[in-house]
Amino acid sequence: MTKLNIYLVRHGQTYYNIYNKLQGWSNSPLTDKGKQDAKLAGQKVQDVDFAAAFCSDLPRAIETCQTILKMNPTAKDLQPTISPYLREQFYGVYEGTEMGQAWYLAGAPHGCKTFKEIVTKYSIGQAKDWLKEADPFHDAESNAEYWQRMDKGIDLIRQADLPDGANVLWVSHGNTVLSLIERFGKGKYDVTVRPKNGSLSKLLLTDDDLQVEFYDK
């Protein structure tokens, strides 16, 4: 059984992060702080010998990933695998909507007024399903639709023909990091608050499992 050390990084701060807007498949540029977030993340892993790197095809993740790799002496020439399977959750009609408003519209019909309240009482998966329900076009990803796609992304990493014990960089997104931690973190972590921009988590990926070693450092 091959085991891979996954260094999971959330992209640097963007303008939509400042404005508290949902930013799934849409994109806004990294701020100056966001570019610094990427550099600080790069410093955290600059001594890690990466065998591969993966990120979503959204510009904020690509730029963060490229910054991190350029700062790593052994990985500066490594070309990341960029895949739409690894994108953030798709929020449908609520792309670009202020978060508080979007999660109120999703949760209020069910007695929950905030994202934190939905997740505390139910789950992130339930938040996904209720947002799809509230979307008049029903384009927002349900929990099942999201994981059907994301599981393909995880399998992409598994099938990369890497040696046992290889170190892998994965640059991702806030809700995706939360979703991974909720699913595989065995209830040890607070998933009601998004991880910090540029934060580092470490996972252990095997042929049939994903384990969390630490989160949001």
* Residue 117 bears catalytic tag: no
The CA distances from residue 110 to 55, 130, 156, 212, 217, in Å, are 35, 9, 36, 31, 34
Count of beta carbons in the 10 Å neighbourhood of residue 19? 12
* Residue 11 bears catalytic tag: yes
Q: What share of the chain is helix, strand, coil (3-state, %, to 5)?
A: 40, 20, 40
Of 88, 95, 117, 141, the active-site residue reads 88
The CA distances from residue 131 to 47, 59, 74, in Å, are 41, 24, 42
Q: Which residues are catalytic?
A: 11, 88
